[in-house]
Structures are given as C-alpha cells and as structure tokens.
Homo-oligomer: A and B are copies of this chain.
Amino acid sequence: MQKADHENISVKSGQTIQVFAPATIANLVCGFDILGMALNNPHDVMKLTLSNQPGIRIVHNDTYNLPTTPEQNVAGVALLDLLYEVKGEYGFDLIIEKHIKPGSGLGSSAASAAGAVVAANKLLGNIFSNEDLVRFAMAGEKLASGVKHADNISPGIYGGITLIRSIFPLDIISLPAPPLFVAVVHPQIEVKTSDAREILRKEVALKDAIKQWGNIAGLVAGFMKKDYGLISRSLEDVIIEPVRSMLIPGFDEVKQKSMYAGALGGGISGSGPSIFMLCENEETALTVEKIMKSIYEGMHLKNYTYVTTINHEGIKAVMV
C-alpha cells in the first residue's frame, strides 16, 4: 500500500484540534442504508493532539463508560486505520466528551469515528480526501454494529444530506438540503442495531420495492427542487418502518400526531429508538416536540427531545 506523504507540509507534534461532531440521522425514511442527514444538535466535542509518541491514548470525558482501549473504541479503530496509511511515526491523544447518547440511533459512534479522523487529517495537513476519511471512519461503524455502513459517517463528514449510492466502491453524493427544522425524541429504551437488522426480512415484495424506489426518487427530487409537498408525499417507508417500528413503543402515536400537527413526515432515526420529524418551520417543530414529550411522559418513559436544523457544514475542526 502506498502511504500518504506529507513531508512538505508542516506537521507539528503537540498541536491540538477541537472538534464538534454532529448527530446524524441514517436510514432517512425511504432511504434505508443510502440516505443520511447531519443535525446541528446534539453534537460531541473532542480534542485531538498529535504526538511523536506512537499509539493512541483515549480519555472519555463523560459518564458512558465506553471502552478506551483503541482497538475497542470506535474512534480508536478509525484512527488506527488512518495511521496505517500515514508515512512516519505518529500517535494521538484523544479526549472525547459525548453529548450524543450511545444507543440513541443518532449516530453516536459515527460522530466519534468521523470526528476523530477529520481532526487527524487536519493535524496531518489535509493529506486525505473526504472519501478516504469515510473509509477510515467505517472501521468504527464495523466495530459498533458489525457492518460497514456510511450513512451516518457521510453526512457527518460532508454535511447536509448525503446519498451513499454504493459502499463498494464508495460513491457519495451531496444533495442540496432545503432549510428544514427537525424535531427528535429519544425514548430511553434499548434497540440494538444488530437486533434491528435481524428483524428485517431478507426478501421483500417487488411491488413494495417499486413503491420504495418511487418514494426515494421523489424525495431526492423534492430536496433538490425544494418542493415541500413532494418531500412530504415521498416520506413514506413501506419496507423497513412497518417491521422496526414494532420495537419502539409509541411510534405510531408520535408519527400520527406529529403529522396532524403539520410535520412533513419522518420516521425512525437509524435503527432507533429515536424518532425524528421534518418540519417546514420552527413553530411546527416545537409543537411536535411537545407532542413527543407528552406521549412518552404519559408512558412514564424517560426521554430526551431536540428541536434543531440541518447541519450543512458537517464536522467542524478548529486548531486550539
């Protein structure tokens, strides 16, 4: 393998970068496995320092008890994959302050993995392309869920809404995103990504598949034309949601009442349990948030809600 060369670029050991890595919504309704969106809130905060001392040292500055051994940490394995392609002996010190709750379905593992490699690349003088960074960060997703997928990582790295047309070979397309508001609820129940995957049927009816690809085509056209009516009509998932939503108590009620309140549509974020609803304006999103909260309060289920917007910039990395 050819190693990335950065001898002409000033790389200083000891330099630190602060990273803001956004939450992301994967499996965007009819875009199962191919469509993701970055959010402005919540986001993780990380500090990465370049070191002459080989190896990766991770500190978790939060209460989630995530493993800090690099080989068992999603950011760690992503950085290891990156270092493997770098000429010269370097190491990293990483401090992670998680605000995106692990297991929320809001791309917590992707934020760590993608945030770490974006920061590392900046410290090394931007020697890698965004596509390379997605490749490295997917090692983190593989560790977290057993499967290399890019629909959380890509919107994190590219910002906005991204289409992952293909993983092998990687083909990522940034789509223009209209100014939407997003209401999110994270009911505190556990849905394991692996369970959520196993529950899916391996075969689907051709007529449902046709409906689904009509909807994804409509959704892409709707985003690109800024046609809110078309976006709303296309936000329909006839294949995954009917199965997976059974794992999320309150799902149908949240969706039905949110739509009645004026949301354009929405669904399960990632493999759940978070539910998101896209709205044309902030007022509707705030109403939807109240509805979400009241449904889970009624069920005496601990929950977290967010009203936010699409993050167009992606991961932000600032030298400190």
- Residue contact A200 to B206, C-beta cutoff 8 Å: yes
Tell me the number of copies of this protein. Answer: 2
Given A210-B34, A213-B213, A217-B216, do A165 and B203 touch, yes or no (CB 8 Å)? Answer: no
- Residue contact B165 to A215, C-beta cutoff 8 Å: yes
- Residue contact B206 to A206, C-beta cutoff 8 Å: no
Neighbour of A221 across the interface among B163, B211, B233, CB < 8 A? B163
Chain A residues numbered 195-235 whose CB sits less than 8 Å from any CB in chain B: 200-207, 209-221, 224-225, 230, 233-234
Q: How far is the CA of A171 from the CA of B236 in the complex (A)?
A: 14
Given A206-B203, A221-B224, do A234 and B32 touch, yes or no (CB 8 Å)? Answer: no
Q: How far is the CA of A219 from the CA of B218 in the complex (A)?
A: 12
- Residue contact B218 to A32, C-beta cutoff 8 Å: no
- The size class of the interface chain A forms with chain B is 35 or more
Chain B residues closer than 8 Å to A34, beta-carbon distance = 210, 213-214, 217
- Cβ-based interface call for A189 (8 A): no
Chain B residues closer than 8 Å to A219, beta-carbon distance = 217
Chain B residues closer than 8 Å to A239, beta-carbon distance = 206, 209
- Cβ-based interface call for A166 (8 A): yes
- Residue contact A206 to B214, C-beta cutoff 8 Å: no
Minimum CB–CB distance from A221 to chain B (whole Å) comes to 5
Q: How far is the CA of A106 from the CA of B230 in the complex (A)?
A: 29
Q: How far is the CA of A134 from the CA of B256 in the complex (A)?
A: 32
- Residue contact B173 to A210, C-beta cutoff 8 Å: no
Minimum CB–CB distance from A192 to chain B (whole Å) comes to 19
Minimum CB–CB distance from A7 to chain B (whole Å) comes to 32
- Residue contact A218 to B173, C-beta cutoff 8 Å: yes
Top-9 shortest CB links A-B: A165-B218, A209-B209, A213-B213, A34-B214, A203-B203, A165-B214, A220-B220, A213-B216, A224-B224
